[in-house]
């Protein structure tokens, strides 16, 4: 039985005046009052007395039970009962008192107020009942006149409201305290949004139809950094999770959402609320929700605003964490994963990649730095973005694409055979349009099968890089697939490099040999060329054409070159101390040494430390080095000449220098390359390159020396051309310093510097 009861006495007006001034809410907010009595007339009288009455601005909703068991069953199924009118004597003389114990103990209803009524006071003395039972009031049925009934009920409801308010506040504060830690656990926007909605539901005490709006891209990783929408949703709106703002036209709270965004403030309405959580690093966060019960009660609203403060700080932390995560694992320009993230993702899926025949690759853009400098960095950035777009379109959505270096991209995908592998470079066939210009680009690539190898993704990327190194040797727009032979060759090179570095650091194994340079007229020495040799501890000799390119590739050639120059200076001093007649020593200088900013300073220091006469030293540089940066080379050569050194052009005729540039450089001597000496015959001597070089040197006022002279006929023809000095096996092979001293003693004659 569920009835609303009327009839209020005039004498209650003053008592209820405060409540009468308040607007009457909806019937759904009525106070629930349970009448427990085994006398039907008591039920009827109570209904008659309370019909149409309002307490604290809300109507009454009366429920009835005829026994203690009926009351227990009702209370188990119905929450929020404010007041119980309870008869003491029903199926037994203390049934009502026993029910009080069950309500408080078994059912745990501590807020519900209990008004004990009895028609037989003797069965339950008032003092002992008040003392022993948790009841709000104890009255005889004859005492409860209309006025007394309303005052007693109003007092009980007010007590219930105060107690539930305190309980709600206590639970709300406990929930806020608990949420403080939970809100700082998530590390991404979506997880944070889900936790935030759960905390709001806990605060309201019921499920909500709610949406959490914020940055969908999660820090911008591989997505539109400005994309925003619904990160999480509950209840009737659960299907909207992941939708962008543009797709919310049919969302019932979209106008409320727009109002809150425009005002940047909370908006509270009738049964709806939009909470504005602020802006962090350009990202906004809002929560829109529908809740039962009309307007939010002041206490709940205060708790919500406190929670919003926590949500605002938590949101800022999550956005900051996502930004840190993004810059740690993604490329800000292309929004692709960086090398670290690429390796992580490959390791995560490597087992599946290996089973499905996937391939790992590295694509390197040819001479991108030159394009970047020529077009400007902004255009260079646009080129990289366009390369990203083409690669992703070519490889498909499942493929992994990453920017692992400035001009290198890492890819992992499932190609369609070898043609599918080579087709990746087709993205570079068409020019790239940047700022109205068609820019042609070329690329090289190295590939490796995605297999379960020791070392995981790092090993696979190393294999792809090794294949790329071989592709670079073949020129532009080439690709190579990794093979075991590449790896064994590389391991040998690495081992050789380590041994070379050890030989340089310990000073054991590297030594200089010297090949004499002579006057062809009498065979007397005028100089020699210092040539490095490497002999391993076990006696194995490593050819210079094996370890010199390796040293140049790794940059070790600079340290080796510094050692060669210093050692040659020291050797000249040792020869002078032994009484050997003076002659010049030619020392080869690499391009890498010339690029060192302190190159001239190191040369000067070596001369000063050794005490050698700089006039005894001749630096030999190749034609290609001289032309790499003529202005810079000219400046350094003039500084070296100022120190007293001589300078010779080595391997002249093999490069592509202009005579005008050579004429501006302060050279003393030109060396004819052995390739031009080797082709000399009586039949070719009149129009050969060697003759042209000799004439050119004479016209420029330079001395000329030919290297690689091996036969008497070559020597005679060169001498007829006017070549004044020669070097080659005909006169002497490169030899140990002590052997050279003996050679000089056996060929004593006029010496010239």
* Amino acid 420: pLDDT: 82
Residue 751 reports pLDDT greater than 80: no
Residue 77 reports pLDDT greater than 50: yes
* Amino acid 180: pLDDT: 58
* 154 and 193 inside one domain: no
Structural domain contains residue 693: yes
Structural domain contains residue 751: no
459-515 per-position pLDDT tens digit: 999 999 999 988 887 777 889 998 888 877 777 888 888 989 999 988 889 999 999
Residue 556 reports pLDDT greater than 80: yes
* 90 and 165 inside one domain: yes
* 230 and 353 inside one domain: no
* Amino acid 66: pLDDT: 92
* 714 and 637 inside one domain: yes
**In Å, what is the CA distance from 562 to each residue of 366, 502, 583, 627, 675?**
32, 16, 21, 22, 28
Choose the final residue of a domain: 169, 198, 214. 169
The predicted model gives 525-540 an average pLDDT of: 92
* 50 and 121 inside one domain: yes
Structural domain contains residue 20: yes
* 304 and 345 inside one domain: no
Helix residue ranges per DSSP H, 357-483 = 368-375, 377-395, 417-422, 456-473
User: Residue 354 sits in which domain range?
Assistant: 339-482
Do 587 and 567 meet the contact criterion of CB atoms below 8 Å apart?
no
Residue 293 reports pLDDT greater than 80: no
Query: Pairing state of beta strands 272-280 and 283-290?
Result: antiparallel
* Amino acid 237: pLDDT: 84
Structural domain contains residue 175: no
CATH number at residue 8: 3.40.50.2300
CB atoms within 10 A of CB 125: 11
Residue 45 tokens read as: 């009288």
Residue with tokens 């005039």: 10
Q: At 614, is the pLDDT very low, low, confident or very high (cuts 50, 70, 90)?
A: very high
Q: Give the chain's domain count.
A: 4
Residue 217 reports pLDDT greater than 50: yes
Residue 405 reports pLDDT greater than 60: yes
* 299 and 359 inside one domain: no
* Amino acid 21: pLDDT: 34
CATH number at residue 270: 3.30.450.40
* 438 and 298 inside one domain: no
> Is the pTM here over 0.75, yes or no?
no
Choose the final residue of a domain: 482, 512, 530. 482
Choose the final residue of a domain: 142, 169, 196. 169
Distance in angstroms (rounded) separating the CA atoms of residues 360 and 413: 7
Sign of torsion, CA 246 249 253 259?
positive
Structural domain contains residue 143: yes
Q: At 199, is the pLDDT very low, low, confident or very high (cuts 50, 70, 90)?
A: confident
* 68 and 145 inside one domain: yes
Distance in angstroms (rounded) separating the CA atoms of residues 100 and 75: 12
Lowest mean pLDDT among 141-150, 268-277, 393-402, 703-712: 141-150
Structural domain contains residue 680: yes
Structural domain contains residue 178: no
* 557 and 534 inside one domain: yes
* Amino acid 14: pLDDT: 32
CATH number at residue 424: 3.30.70.270
Question: Rg of the Cα trace of the chain?
Answer: 48
* 264 and 359 inside one domain: no
Structural domain contains residue 334: no
* 217 and 349 inside one domain: no
CATH number at residue 631: 3.20.20.450
Q: How many residues does the chain have?
A: 753
């Amino acid at each position: 039985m569920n009835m609303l009861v009327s009839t209020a006495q005039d004498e209650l007006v003053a008592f209820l005046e405060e409540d009468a001034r308040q607007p009457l809410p909806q019937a759904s907010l009525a106070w629930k009052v349970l009448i427990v009595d085994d006398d039907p007339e008591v039920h009827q009288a109570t209904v008659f007395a309370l019909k149409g009455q309002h307490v604290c601005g809300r109507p009454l909703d009366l429920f009835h039970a005829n026994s203690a068991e009926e009351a227990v069953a009702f209370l188990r199924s119905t929450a929020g009962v404010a007041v119980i009118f309870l008869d003491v004597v029903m199926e037994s003389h203390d049934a009502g008192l026993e029910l009080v114990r069950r309500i408080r103990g078994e059912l745990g209803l501590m807020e519900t107020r209990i008004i004990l009524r009895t028609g037989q006071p003797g069965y339950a003395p008032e003092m002992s009942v008040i003392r022993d039972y948790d009841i709000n009031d104890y009255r005889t049925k004859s005492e409860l006149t209309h006025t007394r009934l309303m005052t007693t009920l109003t007092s009980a409801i007010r007590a219930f409201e105060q107690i539930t308010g305190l309980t709600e506040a206590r639970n709300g504060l406990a929930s806020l305290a608990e949420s403080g830690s939970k809100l700082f656990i998530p590390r991404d926007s979506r997880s944070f949004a889900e936790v935030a909605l759960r905390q709001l539901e806990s605060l309201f005490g019921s499920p909500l139809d709610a949406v959490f709006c914020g940055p969908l891209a999660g820090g911008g990783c591989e997505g539109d950094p400005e994309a925003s929408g619904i990160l999480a949703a509950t209840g009737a709106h659960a299907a909207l999770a992941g939708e962008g703002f543009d797709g919310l036209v049919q969302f019932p709270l979209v106008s409320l959402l727009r109002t809150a965004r425009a005002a940047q403030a909370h908006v509270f309405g009738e049964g709806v609320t939009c909470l504005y959580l602020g802006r962090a690093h350009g990202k906004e966060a809002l929560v829109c929700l529908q809740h039962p019960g009309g307007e939010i009660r002041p206490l709940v609203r205060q708790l919500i605003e406190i929670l919003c403060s926590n949500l605002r700080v938590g949101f800022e932390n999550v956005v900051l964490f996502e930004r840190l995560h993004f810059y740690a694992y993604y490329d800000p320009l292309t929004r692709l994963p960086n090398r670290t993230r690429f390796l992580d993702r490959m390791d995560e899926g490597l087992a599946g990649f290996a089973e499905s025949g996937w391939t790992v690759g590295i694509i390197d853009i040819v001479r991108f730095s030159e394009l970047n400098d020529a077009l400007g960095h902004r255009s260079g950035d646009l080129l990289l973005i366009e390369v990203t777009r083409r690669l992703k379109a070519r490889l498909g959505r499942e493929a992994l694409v990453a920017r692992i270096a400035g001009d290198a991209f890492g890819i992992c995908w499932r190609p369609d055979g070898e043609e599918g592998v080579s087709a990746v470079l087709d993205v570079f066939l068409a020019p790239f349009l940047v700022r109205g210009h068609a820019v042609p680009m070329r690329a090289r690539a190295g590939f490796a099968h995605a297999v379960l190898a020791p070392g995981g993704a790092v090993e696979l990327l190393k294999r792809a890089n090794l294949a790329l190194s071989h592709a670079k040797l073949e020129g532009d727009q080439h690709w190579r697939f990794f093979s075991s032979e590449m790896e064994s060759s590389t391991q040998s090179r690495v081992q050789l490099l380590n041994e070379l570095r050890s030989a340089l650091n310990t000073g054991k194994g590297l030594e200089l040999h010297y090949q004499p340079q002579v006057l062809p007229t009498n065979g007397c020495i005028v100089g020699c060329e210092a040539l490095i040799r490497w002999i391993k501890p076990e006696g194995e000799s490593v050819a210079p054409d094996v370890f010199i390119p390796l040293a140049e590739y790794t940059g070790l050639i600079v340290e080796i070159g510094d050692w060669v120059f210093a050692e040659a200076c020291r050797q000249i001093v040792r020869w002078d101390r032994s009484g050997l007649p003076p002659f010049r020593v030619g020392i080869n200088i690499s391009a890498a040494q010339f690029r060192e900013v302190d190159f001239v300073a190191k040369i000067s220091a070596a001369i000063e430390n050794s005490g050698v006469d700089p006039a005894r030293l001749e630096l030999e540089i190749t034609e290609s080095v001289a032309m790499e940066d003529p202005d810079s080379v000219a400046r350094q050569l003039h500084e070296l000449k100022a120190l007293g050194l001589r300078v010779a052009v080595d391997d002249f005729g093999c490069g592509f220098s202009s005579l005008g540039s050579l004429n501006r450089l302060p050279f003393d001597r030109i060396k004819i390359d052995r390739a031009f000496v080797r082709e000399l015959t009586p039949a070719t001597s009149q129009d050969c390159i060697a003759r042209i070089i000799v004439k050119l040197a004479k016209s420029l006022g330079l001395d000329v020396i030919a290297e690689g002279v091996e036969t008497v006929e070559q020597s005679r023809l060169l001498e007829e051309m006017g070549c004044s000095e020669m070097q080659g096996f005909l006169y002497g092979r490169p030899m140990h310093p002590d052997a050279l001293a003996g050679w000089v003693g056996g060929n004593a004659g006029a010496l010239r510097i």
